[in-house]
Amino acid sequence: MRGYAMLRIGESGWIDKERPECGPLDAIVKPLAIAICTSDIHTLWEGAIGDRHNMILGHEACGEVVEVGELVKDFKPGDRVLVPAITPDWSSLEAQAGYSMHSGGMLAGWKFSNFKDGVFGEVFHVNDADGNLAHLPEGMSVVDACMLSDMVPTGFHGVELADVEFGDVVLVVGIGPVGLMSVAGANLRGASRILAVGTRPKCIEVARGYGATDFISYKEGPIADQVLALTDGKGVDRVVIAGGNNDTFIEAVKAVKPGGRIGCVNYLGSGDYVRIPRVEWGVGMGHKQINGGLMPGGRLRMEKLGALVASGRLDVHPLATHIYHGWEEVEPALLCMREKRPDLIKPVVVLEE
């Protein structure tokens, strides 16, 4: 089978590989649509997870089941499915401890285009199909379904990690597709004010639609100074980090109140350390929590978030700004994501409607 792969750091192209085998609990799925992620860019061009050779890229897809193992109960060939980017081993001890995303080791729930081939191939392998796949909700488009692989669950996880509560003033750093979903999630959780950091006009427009009330440009001075100026020197209750760099923690710690929480879903692609400002961290005693996490995967979460979109309570249409058609468009879509054109939020490649 053919797939679009990372050949080595900085180099990608089409390759032929063996079709994956279906174990008794697994499924083989054909992608109907795939989306490109900023994480694919970090992986391929920054080598952020280390070198990988001839590994098929991609972890965001909506698909059709083509084969299931003999122990799979709830899915059969022909079923259209939501596919989470993170597919844990649900019987692992880590999953039993509540950290499914780390099943088998740190970040090991993230299997597609990390520990095995990803979804940019003619078919791909899904472990623990009953635990990880979800049926595509009636009437949902394959493009919207792709937003449920990673953007919705990751953006929302940032909100969960920051533990946003009714009435909170929330800072969301980064309003690419992940941060936009953090804005939407903070809004659904009842934030009273949402300060959003980003500069691309398209993202600002969409963030306003999702509930952002104030905008900050990281290009016009330190974020924390701008937050303090906008909040009469008080700072914010919660911070979600969905963009920026290793030094964004400095801004987040300075911007959050004592007792505040910082949820980070950013993928730090390079560097060895992150720094925390000593004084603003209460010289070690400020009760300013920093929680960084990979989003949880799995079927239950997919079903719930799918229902949120299917009910119309969360509209993901504004995210997919660039829609391509056909396998030959995978490479242009990837390059488009790398360039981050001003009007881009998310590129999606539709393979079959």
Q: CB 340 → ligand NDP: shortest distance, Å?
A: 6
Question: Applying CB under 6 A, does 244 fall inside the site for ligand NDP?
Answer: yes
The letter for the amino acid at 194 is I
Q: Give which of 137, 140, 129, 149 is closest to 74, Cα–Cα.
A: 129
Q: Check: CB of residue 60 under 8 Å from CB of residue 43.
A: no
269, with CB counted inside 10 A (0-12, 13-18, 19+), is: middle
Angle between helices 299-310 and 151-162 (to 10 degrees): 100
Question: Applying CB under 5 A, does 345 fall inside the site for Zn ion?
Answer: no
Q: Which does 242 bind (CB under 5 to 8 A by kind): ligand NDP, Zn ion, none?
A: ligand NDP
247-286: contacts with Zn ion (CB under 5 A): none
Question: Applying CB under 5 A, does 37 fall inside the site for Zn ion?
Answer: yes
Question: Applying CB under 6 A, does 108 fall inside the site for ligand NDP?
Answer: no
Burial 231-263 (b: 16+ CB within 10 A, else e): beeebbbbbbbbbbeeebbbbbbbbbbeebbbb
The helix/strand/coil state of 92 is coil
Q: CB 347 → ligand NDP: shortest distance, Å?
A: 11
Question: Applying CB under 6 A, does 242 fall inside the site for ligand NDP?
Answer: yes
Question: Applying CB under 5 A, does 152 fall inside the site for Zn ion?
Answer: no
Question: Applying CB under 6 A, does 290 fall inside the site for ligand NDP?
Answer: no
Question: Applying CB under 6 A, does 176 fall inside the site for ligand NDP?
Answer: yes
Q: Which does 218 bind (CB under 5 to 8 A by kind): Zn ion, ligand NDP, none?
A: ligand NDP
Question: Applying CB under 6 A, does 100 fall inside the site for ligand NDP?
Answer: no
Q: Give which of 271, 273, 292, 347 is closest to 48, Cα–Cα.
A: 271
Gap between the terminal Cα atoms of the chain: 21
Q: CB 39 → Zn ion: shortest distance, Å?
A: 5
Q: Give the C-alpha separation, 41 to 274, whole Å.
A: 21
291-310: contacts with ligand NDP (CB under 6 A): 294-295
Q: Which residues bind ligand NDP (CB under 6 A)?
A: 37-39, 42, 150, 154, 173-179, 197-200, 203, 218, 242-245, 248, 265-267, 294-295, 340
Q: Which residues bind Zn ion (CB under 5 A)?
A: 37, 39, 150
